[in-house]
Chain A
Amino acid sequence: MALKKKKRVQKREELAITSMMDMMTIILVFLLKSYASTEVTVTPSEDMQLPTSSAAKAPELAVQLMVSKTEILVDGVPVLGLTTVQDEENPGEMLIAVPEDEKKGQMITDLYDRLLDKAEQAKALGEASGSEQHAFKGRILLQCDQNLPFSVIREVMYTAGQAQFSEFKFVVYKTE
């Protein structure tokens, strides 16, 4: 009598958890494999689609300049918005451009001020650390949407160049 009762209780306790564990272990291994180890991350959105390239160089940490279809961001902080203008040579088509009142010639003034601040910060940090490795080298990571016209990128590059950033690194998706 006593033995019979005990058996029934044991049966109720059994939950088939082993197969679930198997699945979880496989998922865990897969996720560990795709763990992001680089410091540089992108958040893809409708306005920000990087082009794909066969380049193989891994990104390194630097000032991040993002140019989406609608705005320019430095290290994730928005600096100014972009507008669309009529394409003079192809009437009816719109081109993304930097607003005229935001720039002086080719220089985008707000962006220049922000980048100059970043350059000064990076220089001070480099001097404080005292090591060659952290010295300011004028590196800048450029993330641009694949549909941006070159005229915008040229102005951004020119401005960055004026703010002492001369080593451009264009961030792209790697093709397998």
Chain B
Amino acid sequence: MAGKGRRTTEETPLDLVPIMNLVTILIPFLLMSAQFVTLAVIDSTLPAIGPPQEVQEEPDEPPLMLSVALTDQGFTILGDNGVVTGESEEEGAEGEEGEGEPEPTIPCAERPCTSAESYDFEELTRMLSLIKDEYPDDQNVILVPEGRIQYEVIVRTMDSTREDKSQKGEDDSSRELFPFVVIAGGAQ
């Protein structure tokens, strides 16, 4: 009887101390190499200095050569046939009034823009989406930022030109607009 009692007391304490030691060492190590923010990259190429490309055959349709100029007044969308003013938009009327300096296609909320928040990225996406409807095969966009434009604004512009989150494209992801961005030297 007494022997049986002794056996049960021997089994109950499970020696967890070595495992604790191991875990206490593992936790600082993993904490050190933990990644709480995920990184991503945006691709962009330098067309002018890259390796020579083979001469392409003349395409049937003239390329769009879509460019977005970034100034502290707003975005100006340019195509191969001039500036997109957005005739049917309210901004169209405003654009014609501009004397001397041409009005941007999508002006800022407050001018000159001081922060990234005053740029109308949603409107840019909406207009590029309309352009994409006209030119479904075009994938390139040229960004022409002014020297004073903050890097953050450029990145957010690239986001707006890459995809349209409000519309669903193929395979249920957001609609792709112009994913290949080229950053031009810009206005001095």
The answer to whether A170 and B42 touch across the interface, beta carbons within 8 angstroms, is yes
Cβ of B147 < 8 Å from any Cβ of A? Answer: yes
Q: How far is the CB of B85 from chain A (nearest CB, A)?
A: 24
Cβ of A129 < 8 Å from any Cβ of B? Answer: no
Encoded as 1 (CB less than 8 Å from any B CB) or 0, chain A from 152 to 176 comes to: 0110011001101011111111100
Q: How large is the interface on B (under 10, 10 to 19, 20 to 34, 35 or more residues)?
A: 35 or more
The answer to whether B20 and A57 touch across the interface, beta carbons within 8 angstroms, is no
Residues on the B chain within 8 Å of A17, using CB: 16-17, 20
Chain A residues at the B interface, C-beta cutoff of 8 Å: 3, 10, 13-14, 17-18, 20-21, 24-25, 27-28, 31-32, 34-38, 40-42, 50-60, 87, 89-90, 95, 138, 141, 144-151, 153-154, 157-158, 161-162, 164, 166-174
Chain B residues at the A interface, C-beta cutoff of 8 Å: 2, 9, 13, 16-17, 19-20, 23-24, 26-27, 30-31, 33-46, 48-51, 70, 112, 145-152, 154-156, 158-159, 162-163, 165, 183, 185-186
The 6 closest A-B CB pairs, nearest first, are: A36-B35, A151-B147, A31-B30, A146-B152, A169-B41, A161-B49
**Pairs A–B under 8 Å by Cβ, sample size 28:** A17-B16, A21-B16, A28-B23, A28-B26, A28-B30, A34-B35, A35-B34, A36-B34, A38-B35, A38-B39, A52-B155, A53-B155, A53-B159, A54-B165, A55-B159, A57-B42, A58-B40, A149-B149, A150-B151, A157-B183, A164-B49, A166-B50, A168-B183, A169-B42, A169-B43, A169-B44, A172-B41, A172-B42
